[in-house]
Amino acid sequence: MISLSLLRPIVAVLFAAGLAVGLAATASAQETRVAFGAIKADPSLPVEVTADTLDVNQETGEAVFTGNVVIGQGDMRLAAPRVLIVYKSASDGIDRMEATGGVTLVSGPDAAEAERADYTIDDGVIVMTGNVLLTQGRSALTSERAVINLITGTAQMSGRVRTILQSGSD
C-alpha cells in the first residue's frame, strides 16, 4: 500500500503539470503583436518584379504577373505564383499588390508564409491571410491573419494565434 505522504508530492507535481498545460493553452491566444524584420523597410523605394509572364490591362490599370513571381523592395522579398498589381489612377506609381497561391515574405532574418498577401505600398502594410506562419530564428507563430507594418517593423497576428516558446537552453 502507498503511503499518503508519498502521494502528496505526486499529486502536487500532477497539479502543477496540469496548470502549466492550462497556461500554455491560453498562450494560444486570439491576437498577439511581434517585431518583424531586422530593419524597417522604406515603402518609397522602387519595386522590382520578375516573373515568367506579364499581362497588362491599360483600361483597368492592372498588371498580372504569373509564374515564379519575385518582388523586391529594399531588403524585403515577396514570392508567389501570381501577383496582381493595381496602379494609381494618375499613373503615379503602384497603389497595391495582391499576391495569391502561396506567398512567402522575407524581411531581414524573419519570414512569413500565407495563402494570400495584400500590400498597400503607401502605407507600407502587408496583410497576410490563410494559414499564416511567421518564423523568427527558432521560434514560430501561426495564425489566420497577420498585419505586417514594414515602416515600424512590427506584426500583429490574429485568429487563433499559436506559438511554441523556446526556453533558450539547448
**What is the DSSP pairing of strand 125-136 with strand 110-120?**
antiparallel
Instruction: Extract the C-alpha cell encoding 74.
Output: 529594399
Residues 37, 43: contact at Cβ < 8 Å? Answer: no
Instruction: Please give the DSSP secondary-structure letter assigned to residue 144.
Output: E
Q: State the average pLDDT over residues 15-41.
A: 47
Query: How many other CB atoms are there within 10 angstroms of residue 106's CB atom?
Result: 17
Q: Does domain 30-163 have CATH number 1.10.3080.10?
A: no
Q: State the average pLDDT over residues 123-133.
A: 94
Residue 43 CB contacts under 8 Å (≥ 6 apart), including other chains = 73, 121, 122, 123, 124, 150, 151
pLDDT recorded at residue 75: 84
Residue with cell 533558450: 168
**Per-residue pLDDT reduced to its tens digit, 102-123:** 999 998 888 999 999 999 988 9
* Domain residue spans of the chain: 30-163
pLDDT recorded at residue 31: 61
**Per-residue pLDDT reduced to its tens digit, 31-83:** 666 666 554 667 778 889 999 999 999 888 899 999 999 999 888 899 999 99
